[in-house]
Amino acid sequence: MKCVGCGECFVSSENCTDEDKKVFDMGLKRAMKFLESEEYFLLVLDEILDLVQLKILSVGEIKSLISIKTNTELIMTGHDVPDEITEDVDLITEMKSVKHPFEKGIEARRGIEF
């Protein structure tokens, strides 16, 4: 199975395969199970909001995650949060890069960027 977002392969809306979509769907279902179980106190879905911008996941799918959130703290990262999602969340933090190794030609590093 292809490792999506591993730093060696990145998915965009133009090159998203059926296999990629299966992986995203599996991840979404797994996140829902984690939230529903209330077994975990924290769930971080790194860059999940970018999948909305790429039209790989829908706003509705993200809203469904938010709606089942119980005692689990749900953190979702990404860029350009759609207004429909900002209405349903408690906290939004906007970060900006001031300096990044990528600007010097340093590739994404395992454990840091992915």
For 47-75, the pLDDT digits (tens) are 899 888 888 889 999 999 999 867 889 99
Give the sign of the dihedral formed by CA 37, CA 41, CA 46, CA 52. Answer: positive
Find the helix or strand (DSSP H, E) in which 42 lies: strand 42-45
Place of tokens 């797994």: 30
pLDDT score at 3:
43
**Average pLDDT of the residues of the chain:** 83
pTM: 0.74
Q: Report d(CA 74, CA 57) in Å as an integer.
A: 17
